[in-house]
Amino acid sequence: MIADDHALVREGTRQILEDQPGLEVVGEAQDGEEAVALVSRLHPDVVLMDIAMPKLNGIEATRLIKKESPSTSVLILTAYDDDQYIYALLDAGAAGYLLKSVRGEELAQAVRAVAQGESVLHPAIAAKVFKRYTSPGQATAQEEIEPLTERESEVLGMAAKGLSNKMIARELKLSDRTVQAHLSNIFGKLGVASRTEAVITGLRRGLLQLEELS
């Protein structure tokens, strides 16, 4: 689903995505309130979300969408790269952050990636973002979760470094399918829908240490 207040952007984005095999745009929203309502009705796998929109901005819309539909991944597509927007959107539960300068093929790859739980944060942004979540004062009281197994902790640590499923599989001498199964278990235990959310939650809960990301 596409959420953007510019009709031309929505139309162009829809055409780019629907030209790609296996991708279907199920809806369009012109403001944040409409985005939240449409997700509630359509339950898309991925929402492409702009930040500056009428009625409800992308940050608040993302927060409401993740509350009502945790399995929907929100991928930010915006012209803004300010730190406060990045942090606020990841706090709200966004799975990835892209700038509108991205090429069409890269956008399609990113949509597929977040649909499969992958992260689409640029490595430089990721390092800065993840460091923030290990800073003093970031911890918050949260409900108990089922502990991760030793293997799940290994997989989460490698995902935090930005390794793809294939790379993790090669490092741990596992199949790609087994790595995906471990990630699915991790997402379920942490109550998230993407790598980005999993790493941030892992850092907040002390399941990951900053040195593991270097």
Residue whose pair of structure tokens reads 């935090």 in the numeric block: 160
Tally of CA atoms within 13 A in the half-sphere of 32 that contains its CB:
17
CATH of domain 2-115: 3.40.50.2300
CA 181, 168, 71 angle in degrees (round to 5)?
A: 40
Q: Comparing C-alpha atoms, which of 139, 140, 156 is closest to residue 190?
A: 156
- Predicted confidence at residue 141, as pLDDT, reads 44
Instruction: Give the three-class secondary structure for 132.
Output: helix
Q: What would the pLDDT profile of 104-138 be if each residue is shown by its tens digit?
A: 888 998 999 888 877 777 655 666 666 666 554 44
Q: What would the pLDDT profile of 138-189 be if each residue is shown by its tens digit?
A: 444 455 677 889 899 888 888 877 778 888 899 999 998 898 889 888 888 8
Considering the chain, what percentage of its residues have pLDDT values greater than 70? 86
Sequential DSSP letters for 182-208: HHHHHHHHHT-SSHHHHHHHHHHTTSS
What's the CATH fold of domain 122-214? Arc Repressor Mutant, subunit A (1.10.10)
- The token duo for 85 is 């927007």
Per-domain boundaries in the chain: 2-115, 122-214
- Predicted confidence at residue 80, as pLDDT, reads 79
